[in-house]
Structure 1
Amino acid sequence: MQCDYFDAGVCHSCTFMGEPYEDQLARKQRQVASLLSDWPDLVWEPAFGSRQSHFRNKAKLVVGGTADKPTLGILDSHMRGVDLRQCGLYEPCLAASFETLAQFVQRARITPFDVATGRGELKNILATTSPSGTLMLRFVLRSTEALPRIRKNLGWLQEELPQAAVITANLLPERKAVPEGREEIVLTDQDSLPMQLDDVTLFLRPQSFFQTNTPVAKALYGQARDWVNSLANTVGIAPLHIWDLYCGVGGFALNVAGSGRDVLGVEISEQAVESARLGAATAPENATVRFMVGDANAAARAEGSSLDILIVNPPRRGIGALSDWIEKSDARWLIYSSCNANTLAKDLTAMPSYQPHAARLFDMFPQTSHSETMVLAQRMR
């Protein structure tokens, strides 16, 4: 992939830019395999690669400049807006919306937030696209000051972007280096974005998390389903008790659900659990899958330890103290999906009763050093 912004020194987010993709993928595989070298018998499935460009389904656009000439992209070292509307990372239907979004800022006279002075209203625009091309647009504001003008011009935006199914205003009054606040004001009748992944439909509410690379996310969930199917066929346990901790909108739970399986998903985000329950309503009639709001660590200890397969997909910091509970649980198998192989290795070391058998790297983030790694481990004692 070639990028004019990178070549001009404007943006260096893609640290592997210019390196042949095959070399990027091989380098990531070596790095992750080295971190998991304490398990020499680990069998690696072939790494799952990505499109080199136009793969991101979500854009986090920092808004800078002025209401007359807004920039959509990032801030430079002096906290000034840098426009990256032509960035090649985004899915085409998402990138095609950026010009209209800039025009909307002008039309609604929304002053971009200025970090240096603390003045202005519009901090970020968060845009997500589904596999069908529908959009969720979120305007992150300092206050409600611009809300009347956003509502007034909403009809124009919907005419220009009829694929925008969900539009919201998110309030972030604090001066924090975070992309969004807690309060969400939904401006459309629809408040969730359906994500169709073959025979499973996930629903994203505004503050729900979903992997940023849809084809790779499908492969990640598919690998977990294949492993669970293989285990179910081998052991013949019915019902098969499966827990999905840090379940988000239910990607893993809904993909491994099926006849003869009792699946429980746990997630601390209420909005994510609401989304997961929408997905569960579309699951096959013979699938028993339920979701609860709660901290993964506390919920696991409260629910007990009677389960066959445990799936964890934690944030970058890993599972921490939960590893102690897992080590003492009666879970026969563990599927650990990680966006940070360093904490993955640390957590596996803290659970010596589990022997990792299979692993696979999923290149969720081409042009960067980041990747997703999933490991299947069996309790040996």
Structure 2
Amino acid sequence: MTALSGMTRCSYFNEGLCGSCTHLDVPYAHQLSVKQSIAEGQLACAEWLPPVASAEYGFRNRAKIIVAGSTEQPTLGILRNGYGQDLRDCLLYEPVITNAHGPLTEFITRAGLVPYSVPNRAGELKSILVTANPSGTLMVRFVLRSDASIPSIRRHLPWLIDRIPLVIATANLLPEHVALPEGPTEIHLHGPNLFDMSLGPLDLKLRPQGFFQTNTEITRVLYATAAAWVDEIDPSSVWDLYSGVGGFAKSVARPRRTVRGVEVSAEAVKAAGGPPMFIAADAGAWAREQTSTPELLIVNPPRRGMGDLADWVRTSDIDRVLYSSCNLSTAARDLEVMGFSADRAQVFDMFPHTDHVECLVLASRATSRSERTA
């Protein structure tokens, strides 16, 4: 994309301090137009619907806040050349996250937390991961090099709880000097085990290490759209593979419709509600073990796509697929492998000012049974 306008509302971008929003100086309507054009070029589809636009600012429900500087003067933001760049006034976050930056900064000093120095490989507090839910409360996770700071965090948490709408607090341990967002060990410090991410009547729960789409309002529209498209078909049975927190499965569930969600993470399945609706298993292995197939398959795979599960679908009796993808090139590849053609597709702009999009594709069988078993 080519910059079409000059200064933006973001001083960090204007001053060259942060370039995370690659296309922030491109008018948003043009961003959407380009994304739509790229999507249509990646996937041949009988009907492309208009893209679903996001709010331009205040849409991110999740922040990865890199902590640097000193205990007395910490920076909360990103790293530039290994050193901290404070971004506490970033315009992308939901206001409740932006407003939490000040108290979190003071909390670091009060609790005597030592920010981790990447150049020196010293210190304890690497980052703070903050998630906001639709009701305006927060889950805060302190990513630490070791458990040495946890007693002090526990001791000072009541002060922080009095100043921000903190519902859940945890410590995550990442001992290695690696560019990862978090480590495998999560230590519960405060509140319930699951964070309520419900979208109206859609009951969704998130574990601290779980995944939820970063744009709540676009996620709400995505699930509602999926439900409407599925209701048009009105299948009696649905499988939601890679079901995660259960958003798609719960959105399309109806009294006379059998829905099964399959997710490899046992903790995610527990958060979604567990059996009989949700099953902890590898999606491909589970599908191959079944003696029947659903009238509709929903898949929301990782960026790399479905892998050899696409080959299994090609030889199965499944005739309709609803594919949600954050990487349309792999989705197009998977649909070709499966022998499906796209009937309807729509871009959902989860990530304004970047090249990334979420896409929903409704596809149907394009090959005969003899062709797919050849």
TM-score of the superposition, structure 2-length normalised?
Answer: 0.93
Cα distance in 1 for partners of 2:270, 2:49 equals: 34
Partner-residue secondary structure (3-state), 1:197: coil
Contact 2:168 2:192 in 1 (8 A): yes
Cα distance in 2 for partners of 1:296, 1:177 equals: 29
Cα distance in 2 for partners of 1:188, 1:135 equals: 12
User: Which residue of structure 2 aligns with residue 253 of structure 1?
Assistant: 249
Say whether residues 1:79 and 2:82 are aligned partners: yes
User: Which residue of structure 1 aligns with residue 278 of structure 2?
Assistant: 291
- How far is 1:304 from its partner? 4.5
Say whether residues 1:363 and 2:340 are aligned partners: no
> Are residues 115 and 21 of structure 1, via their aligned partners in 2, closer, same or farther at CA, if it must alter by over 3 Å?
same
Q: Which amino acid aligns with 1:74?
A: I
User: Which residue of structure 2 aligns with residue 30 of structure 1?
Assistant: 37
Give CA deviations for 1:150-186 in whole Å, capped at 9, x if unaligned.
011011111112x211110111112221111111111
The within-5 A match list for 1:338-349 is 338-349=325-336
Say whether residues 1:67 and 2:67 are aligned partners: no
TM-score of the superposition, structure 1-length normalised?
Answer: 0.92
Say whether residues 1:318 and 2:314 are aligned partners: no
Give CA deviations for 1:218-248 in whole Å, capped at 9, x if unaligned.
111111101110001xxxx5xx121111111
Contact 1:207 1:272 in 2 (8 A): no
Match for residue 240 of structure 2 among 244, 247, 254: 244
Q: Which amino acid aligns with 2:67?
A: V
Partner-residue secondary structure (3-state), 2:286: helix
Give CA deviations for 1:268-317 in whole Å, capped at 9, x if unaligned.
22222121117x9xxxxxxxx61112222222223355211111111111
> For structure 1, which runs of at least 5 residues remain unmatched after alignment?
281-288
Partner-residue secondary structure (3-state), 1:350: helix
Contact 1:305 1:331 in 2 (8 A): no
User: Which residue of structure 1 aligns with residue 273 of structure 2?
Assistant: 277
User: Which residue of structure 1 aligns with residue 321 of structure 2?
Assistant: 334
The within-5 A match list for 1:91-106 is 91-106=94-109
Cα distance in 1 for partners of 2:316, 2:64 equals: 39
Contact 1:43 1:358 in 2 (8 A): yes
Fraction of identical pairs, as percent = 47
User: Which residue of structure 2 aligns with residue 283 of structure 1?
Assistant: none
Partner-residue secondary structure (3-state), 2:197: strand
Cα distance in 1 for partners of 2:145, 2:264 equals: 25
Contact 1:356 1:378 in 2 (8 A): yes
User: Which residue of structure 1 aligns with residue 5 of structure 2?
Assistant: none
Partner-residue secondary structure (3-state), 2:198: strand
Match for residue 132 of structure 2 among 113, 129, 133: 129
Partner-residue secondary structure (3-state), 2:162: helix
Cα distance in 2 for partners of 1:104, 1:300 equals: 48
Cα distance in 2 for partners of 1:73, 1:271 equals: 30
Q: Which amino acid aligns with 1:100?
A: P
Q: Which amino acid aligns with 1:319?
A: M
The within-5 A match list for 1:137-216 is 137-161=140-164, 163-216=165-218
Contact 1:74 1:81 in 2 (8 A): yes
Contact 1:208 1:275 in 2 (8 A): no
Structure 1 segments, 4+ long, off by >3 Å, are none
User: Which residue of structure 2 aligns with residue 7 of structure 1?
Assistant: 14
Partner-residue secondary structure (3-state), 2:203: strand
Cα distance in 1 for partners of 2:305, 2:36 equals: 20
Partner-residue secondary structure (3-state), 1:33: helix
Q: Which amino acid aligns with 1:70?
A: P
Q: Which amino acid aligns with 2:360?
A: M
> Are residues 305 and 3 of structure 1, via their aligned partners in 2, closer, same or farther at CA, if it must alter by over 3 Å?
farther
> For structure 2, which runs of at least 5 residues remain unmatched after alignment?
1-7, 369-374
- Bigger drift between 304-313 and 93-102 goes to 304-313
- How far is 1:56 from its partner? 0.2
Contact 1:139 1:170 in 2 (8 A): yes
Cα distance in 1 for partners of 2:33, 2:108 equals: 42
Cα distance in 1 for partners of 2:360, 2:308 equals: 20
Partner-residue secondary structure (3-state), 1:73: strand
Contact 2:169 2:191 in 1 (8 A): no
Q: Which amino acid aligns with 1:164?
A: L
> Are residues 338 and 259 of structure 1, via their aligned partners in 2, closer, same or farther at CA, if it must alter by over 3 Å?
same
User: Which residue of structure 1 aligns with residue 26 of structure 2?
Assistant: 19
